[in-house]
Amino acid sequence: AIGLGQHRFFRQHAVRRATNWKLIVDAFMEVYHVKRLHSATIGPFFSDSVAISDHFGPHQRMLVARDQLGQLRDQPPAQWHPQRHGTLVHFIFPNTILIYHPDYISHLGMFPTAPDETLFVHTMLTPEAPADERAKTHWDRSFDLIDRQVFHDEDLTVCEQIQRGLVGGIGQDFLLGRFESNVRRFHET
């Protein structure tokens, strides 16, 4: 329905980060951090902690509300579009995440290389190959924002801080709240 099969490889970045792979998956299984951690990047485009999710065996999907969700009240269902009014996230157990941005898709792979290290691979898929230099510049800027600023400077940096805290001796038990049902389901699986 979203046309994933027609998307094209555009760009990829792989990096080792000093965190357990499951902490990275956890970051993409809840949405309450988006408005706060990403306040200077993508946070303004999203509603605060509004999402719906379901699961299929060990796999999960979540639709995260964008700031334009309120406009749906005045539009017929035929005009509703998940990539315009929300961000769809597919988690394919155990280590794959697809994020459907408004005009491209991020494919994330988390590959543990040690208990406290993960190879994080982000691949950008675009609906078509860039037709000209202007289109290429657009995709490059989008990739840099999501890959460098959002994923690496924000999400993965916090995951590394949590990893250091765990190694430093803070408790090994976590209390999960009602906004973390997807995190709980992932760890139970």
- Token readout for 138 is 């657009």
For residue 171, what pLDDT band results from cuts at 50, 70 and 90?
low
Q: Can you tell me the mean pLDDT for 166-186?
A: 83
Tell me how far apart the alpha carbons of residues 139 and 43 are, in angstroms, rounded to a whole number. 20
CA distance from start to end of the chain: 28
For residue 17, what pLDDT band results from cuts at 50, 70 and 90?
very high
CA dihedral 155, 16, 6, 100 (to 10 degrees): -10
- Residue 185 has what DSSP assignment? H
For residue 175, what pLDDT band results from cuts at 50, 70 and 90?
confident
Strand partners of residue 16: 119
Q: pLDDT tens, 49-91? A: 999 999 999 999 999 999 888 788 888 988 887 777 899 999 9
Pairing of strands 46-56, 59-66: antiparallel
pTM over 0.85: yes
Q: pLDDT tens, 102-146? A: 999 999 999 999 999 999 999 999 999 999 999 999 999 999 999
Q: Count CA atoms closer than 13 A to 162's CA, side-chain side.
A: 19
Amino acid letter for position 144: D
- Among candidates 112, 83, 85, which has minimal Cα distance to 98? 83
The mean pLDDT value of the chain amounts to 93
